[in-house]
Amino acid sequence: MHWFNNSKLFDLARQGQRLTHIAAVIPLSFIFALVAQSGVIPLMVVLGLIYGFTENGVSLAGIPNTIAGLWMGMQLIFAFVLVYAILWAWLKWVEKRPFWTLGYEAKNALSQYGRGFAIGALMFAGSVGILALSGSVSFEQGEPFKQGFAAVAGVLLVLIGWIVQGGAEEVLIRGWVLPVIGARYKPWLGLLISSLIFALLHGLNPGLSAIALVNLALFGVFAGLYAMREGSMWGISALHSVWNWVQGNFFGFQVSGTDAEGGTLINLMETGADWLTGGEFGPEGGLAVTVVLLVGILVVLFWKSREYESS
């Protein structure tokens, strides 16, 4: 596995004048994520003034689905777009390297993004397949205007938000944390710490369970290995985005304990045991996703590919 110790992501990270010390990388990863989340506050104030505030914040219930999808997409964008700006500033004035050295070279970008998009959709569909085979999911009868063909416009608008959100989490954790620690210290240390940080960043999500926390760490391992092997962030950014979108707006599940507004193309609900289905956290909190992630890790580690092995 030549690619593990010699991933192009590490070479890109070394292009700067300095690599951030691990004692700074760990707390800064949480600070950057928290500061970026504050970007959604102005939007939530606007939504509250338009639709009214509730005990749980702002409710989009009862508004046209396309509008709900637009607002949901904007919430995701406002909550995560600052991650890109913060990292750009950090790289420019501290590490002294361009943003694209986080793994966003132009070469093969489209093919890598498309491949990641397809793999992410297939992986989550695989976990749904496991649930279906075990009789742990069934169709749910929701509001007609929020599902099926009537929901297409809203679902597509939310996808734009998921693209920004998934890419932001990836560029922070797998584009910056992993390569900086891996290049300055050891690749395995970068993979381990980035995976743990990723899991902890979701530690306050509703419905979090022990299995969910393990799955978050496993997704971090899988995503890190995928990015390291490809030597690029395009593919894993697409995979993460479509994973969330398919989960919430294609199949209608909760995404890491949160509801996905904007409608769903196929409205499913969990009917089996929480340890398998994930319960309130959504499928990411169950063993069906655990199986898919473990298989994904093995495939990335041992799949024979001339393209990857030569990189």
Over 70: is that where the pLDDT of 309 sits?
Answer: no
pLDDT of residue 59: 74
Residues 88, 101: Cα–Cα separation, whole Å = 10
197-255 pLDDT, tens digit each = 999 999 889 889 999 999 999 999 999 999 999 999 999 999 999 999 999 999 999 99
Q: For residue 1, what pLDDT band results from cuts at 50, 70 and 90?
A: confident
Model confidence, pTM: 0.94
Q: For residue 260, what pLDDT band results from cuts at 50, 70 and 90?
A: confident
Residue with the two structure tokens 């990641």: 116
Residues 199, 192: Cα–Cα separation, whole Å = 11
Burial label, 94 (beta-carbon count in 10 A; 0-12, 13-18, 19+) = middle
- Return mean pLDDT, the chain: 94
Beta bridge partners of 255: 258
DSSP code of residue 166: H
Residues 308, 167: Cα–Cα separation, whole Å = 22
